Amino acid sequence: MAIEKCCISTFHNHNFDPTLPTAEDICIEDIAHALSYICRANGHFRAFYSVARHSLNCAYEVKARGFSEKVQLLALLHDSAESYIGDLTRPLRRHIPEFTEYEKQLQKLIYEKLATTAVTQEEVAAVKMSDDSLLYHEFRTFHGAELFETAPELHITLAPDKPFEETEREFLEMYQYLLSFI
């Protein structure tokens, strides 16, 4: 018996196999669209706040911390795998290592295709530091919860998300702008 290939159909009608992604499957327009519609915190914030807005803010945060346009681009793209495979909350992902491995491989492929440059551990650490800082401040701002005992630094001001189309457009514009430096 033949096993049928399992794919998702993206916004721009690409057939995407989340278990065997290829560079040809990756499309920045699909990523920007999907992330603009996906809510952070599994939808548990008091106001809609998209993964795309979070990614934009992560890029703004690393810029405010003095990092290069390359690191800003990596920050913008750091959650792009979610546009194709969704997300699992941190407590659950610890119990599903296979998901984390698929996500890492897909994120690596996205960086290779859309950032077109090798990524160093220092650059990943800079993005992670800003991402964790945003996590704390997003939960405090949009949920009223403080996730860590000590508030990490934040160099930008968080605001509620914009309409989907505006966030998507801003994401794509920032991507094109930052890519021009690579």
The pLDDT tens digits of the residues spanning 28-44 come to 999 999 999 999 999 99
* DSSP track, 21-44: --GGG--HHHHHHHHHHSBGGGGT
Domain boundaries, the chain: 26-179
* pLDDT one-digit tens code per residue, 156-166: 999 889 999 99
Which of 166-173's residues contact partners 24+ apart within 8 Å by CB, and which partners? 167/36, 167/50, 167/52, 167/53, 167/56, 168/32, 168/33, 168/36, 168/52, 170/56, 171/31, 171/32, 171/35, 171/36, 171/52, 171/55, 171/56, 171/76, 172/28, 172/29, 172/32
User: Can you name the CATH fold of 26-179?
Assistant: Hypothetical protein af1432 (1.10.3210)
Decide: pTM greater than 0.85: yes
